[in-house]
Amino acid sequence: MLEKHNCPPSFSVTPMLVAMYYNNKDVRIQEIPKPEIGDDEFLLKVMASGICGSDVTEWYRVPKAPKVLGHEATGVICEAGKNVSTKVKVGDRVFVSHHVPCNNCRYCQRGHHTACQTLHTTNYYPGGFSQFIRVPKINVEYGVYPLPQDMSFEEGTFIEPLACVVRGQRLSGLQKEDTLLIIGGGLAGILHAQLARTKGVKNIVVADINPFRLEQAKKFGADHAIDAKENLAQKLREVNGGRLADQVVVCTGATPAALAALECVDKGGVILFFAVPDPTVRIPLPITDFWRNEITLKTSYGAAPQDLEESLALLAAKKLNVKDMITHRLSLQEAAEGFRLVATAGESLKVILEPNRA
């Protein structure tokens, strides 16, 4: 039996609470008007929304501040416009994708949905770190994913980050016989390790400089967890029979991680830049060595509809243990602490805000 979630009438000017981001050390709880919806839109009562590593990447976020962030939102549809499809209705428990592609442009047709201009310009309002979200028509049509009855709102917040990992591993062509090195043992890195394990990859190595995250990597499926501070390539050889890695996935924007990746890939291997340094950083590429050894550099950004669908199916089938990755559950009023936890990358993995916690 679903809990009944009632919203104030859309014609009233009713305030709601949001976490307004200015920078990682300045996140303020503010009141703004609750969004009013149109005939082709619906209103989502946000029950859970995860703080992503990209939310605390200041070079990426501060130029657009102040802004309500949050793009991993799950909740309950509490108002629906008269033209909203019968596929969704008031009371449905859903995850909503914040960015959706047009599915028609040249990039979408060639499988590069996350390069689509529509995807980069669509979003819900005002953001996942608010009590209510107005979901526009295009998101209603292409970005709504009902949650299985046995999937919690918290578990549903993993749909988007896992979908990004699904896309990355698909683009990199990860095979079960590969040795996989993941540099960065935060949420994304451990999702990469867990997903690789479901594919039968037999040698998964996670490198980080944080002892807590190295412990978590072992807990969630890594065969080896190694300190990345010094001589990472040599440490990798020691746990991989003298060889480097067939696939290296960079899951942190730290410049030393990007540089280390260049030294850790084996002949014929692939480096996937899942995360990148800030735009001012220039990485010296050993292009002659890579040319001689047929090294491939790949990037992946975000998630497309097929990635989200695959992610939801994996989570629904309990293929990954995401519930135990949740280290902090906070109210919206504790958003500043949540951002501090994620930004400092201490003893936290998944930090979730619950904007409508009673």
pLDDT at 3: 36
pLDDT at 358: 72
Residue 85: pLDDT band by 50, 70, 90 thresholds? confident
pLDDT at 9: 47
> pLDDT, tens digit, for every residue of 205-256?
999 999 999 999 999 999 999 999 999 999 999 999 999 999 999 999 999 9
pLDDT average, residue stretch 15-28:
97
Under a CB-based contact definition with an 8 Å cutoff, are residues 274 and 300 in contact?
yes
- Which are the contacts of 225, defined by CB distance < 8 A and separation ≥ 6? 185, 205, 206, 207, 208, 214, 215, 217, 218
Residue 2: pLDDT band by 50, 70, 90 thresholds? very low
pLDDT average, residue stretch 159-164:
98
Q: Which helix (H) or strand (E) holds 213?
A: helix 211-219
> pLDDT, tens digit, for every residue of 254-268?
999 999 999 999 999
Under a CB-based contact definition with an 8 Å cutoff, are residues 13 and 332 in contact?
no
pLDDT at 81 over 60: yes
Q: Which domains does the chain have, with CATH numbers?
A: 15-158+322-354 (3.90.180.10), 164-299 (3.40.50.720)
